[in-house]
Amino acid sequence: MSGPVARLAGLKVGPAQSEPSGDFGLIGLAVMGQNLILNAADHGFTVVAFNRTVSKVDRFLENEAKGKSVVGAHSIEEFCAKLKKPRRMMLLVMAGPAVDDFIEKLLPHIDAGDIIIDGGNSHYPDSNRRTKYLAEKGIRFVGTGVSGGEEGARYGPSLMPGGNEEAWPYIKDIFQSIAAKSDGEPCCDWVGDEGAGHYVKMVHNGIEYGDMQLICEAYDIMKRGLGMSYAEMGDVFAEWNKGVLDSFLIEITRDVLRFNDDDGKPLVEKILDAAGQKGTGKWTAINALDLGMPVTLIGEAVFARCLSSIKDERTRASKLLSGPTPKFTGDKATFLKNLEQGLYASKIISYAQGFMLMQTAAKQYGWKLNKPSIALMWRGGCIIRSVFLKDITSAYRQNPDLENLLFNDFFNKAIHTAQPGWRDVIAFAVQSGIPMPAFSTALAFFDGYRTKDLPANLLQAQRDYFGAHTFQIKPEYANDKFKVGAYTHVNWTGRGGNVSASTYNA
């Protein structure tokens, strides 16, 4: 909209004004972008809005943004001209080449010291690259995680900014004003260098995959193992939402289970059981493999989505492969308590694994990740927000160098309390032929992590047997032949000589 119509509506569009009024600029008017603009405008900032299809700018100004401190721009040049310096500009466009395209389009119109923020779900190596590339041009780049969906963007998301730290003093006020608050504290803080913000968002999404899979497994065992109705299951989730599992995802599950279609039947029952995914969970699992970290729960959650998506093949398999018929004979109320505890214990493992991964990444990539602030940022606004994250925040505030979440007294006690019920639930699932991959892998991790001597001694012997891959000796068995720390190869068969040991690099 321009000219008289714009004047009538009291909207500021058209050619750049001599005095720029924009505190913050946003490119990309899909619903997340629109909602972030309205959120920033509600907090007293004048926002300049631009979209590749410019008609969308006018529609937005005439409708959702009407009467708000939002200014439209019809070109990148106008967008830049309307922003106060240093310019603070956020891109909320599709992750990937579109981000690079817009950066190139902005560059001719901006000045040294200006700040470009990418708020999409970008892969962190891209943010590493963009931070370096733009720093060479004197532009400060920020890659920020934005979580909370449409509602979060409008009324308070969780924001996880990282990149060029020089930008932080200039964006802190906007970011912390528009972010969700938890006990009065903003769910936003500086995460770290380069792609650290997008890295933390990636791990957030991986954990989101894990939480969702755990909930789905609890639903499945209630439905097929206990034969519960949707109304009953909705009530269980409602109850769980008052206890240790109190969280956004439990709350929406309660609502989903209670939601009936026009014919009075639960809508969820009619939804095709083939899960989609955009890739952030997969990136987390790949990164965990790259860093050699046992982030098993997120891995299983990704694979569970993959298994779900081969629906046609599963349908054929269901006619050829049989298993036990679930027969529940125990006390239902006790089982449901155990299930709650099992879900809680599995969640503790998942977050412990997520923090192990971030801790390793920080070391590997030279980032100073602040664990208490990460837990705080996830406490409110985001999809994994929960009461549980308050306890994680406290654990890391008590000891920011905590080696593992399971070493904190609160979580140590919690997992030991949950353990018997957790095992009962998984045992029943195994006997019933109902898959609980996320619950099971969490328990397997727990049992492996608390085991001093794993069977990897045999594995090392096998490797050395067939491939001369060498092994190290346990310190208590060291002697002249097998020295501590030395890599030794043994001739296991005696073929081609005596049974002997050769030692390499002590």
Residues that bind ligand 6PG (CB under 6 A): 121, 147-149, 205, 208, 276-278, 280-281, 382-383
53 is in an annotated binding site: yes
**Quick check: is 319 catalytic?**
no
Q: In what order do the strands lie in the sheet with 88-91?
A: 70-72, 47-50, 24-27, 88-91, 115-118, 140-147, 158-163, 192-193
| Of 303 and 449, CB closest to ligand 6PG | 303
- Using Cβ positions, the residue closest to ligand 6PG within the complex turns out to be 147
28 is in an annotated binding site: yes
As measured in angstroms, the least distance from the Cβ of 358 to ligand 6PG is 16
123 is in an annotated binding site: no
Residues ≥6 apart with Cβ < 8 Å to 232: 222
| Of 3 and 276, CB closest to ligand 6PG | 276
As measured in angstroms, the least distance from the Cβ of 150 to ligand 6PG is 9
| Of 280 and 353, CB closest to ligand 6PG | 280
Closest among 99, 229, 186 to 378, alpha carbons compared: 186
As measured in angstroms, the least distance from the Cβ of 248 to ligand 6PG is 10
As measured in angstroms, the least distance from the Cβ of 407 to ligand 6PG is 28
* Residue of 78, 208, 217, 340 marked catalytic: 208
243, two tokens: 């206890």
Q: How many residues does the chain have?
A: 506
Q: How far apart are CA 449 and CA 439, in angstroms?
A: 15
Q: How far apart are CA 498 and CA 489, in angstroms?
A: 13
278 is in an annotated binding site: yes
Strand 140-147 relative to strand 115-118, pairing:
parallel
As measured in angstroms, the least distance from the Cβ of 349 to ligand 6PG is 20
What is the DSSP secondary-structure string of 479-496? -SSS-TT-EEEE-SS-TT
**Quick check: is 136 catalytic?**
no
* Residue of 201, 223, 282, 347 marked catalytic: 201
408 is in an annotated binding site: no
Paired strand residues for 181: 186
Residues ≥6 apart with Cβ < 8 Å to 431: 324
95 is in an annotated binding site: yes
| Of 31 and 468, CB closest to ligand 6PG | 31
Q: How far apart are CA 282 and CA 206, in angstroms?
A: 8
| Of 205 and 386, CB closest to ligand 6PG | 205
In contact, 359 and 383? CB cutoff 8 Å: no
Positions at the binding site for NADP(+):
28-33, 51-53, 93-95, 121
Positions at the binding site:
28-33, 51-53, 93-95, 121, 147-149, 204-205, 209, 278, 305, 463, 469
Point out the residues that are catalytic. Answer: 201, 208
Positions at the binding site for substrate:
121, 147-149, 204-205, 209, 278, 305, 463, 469
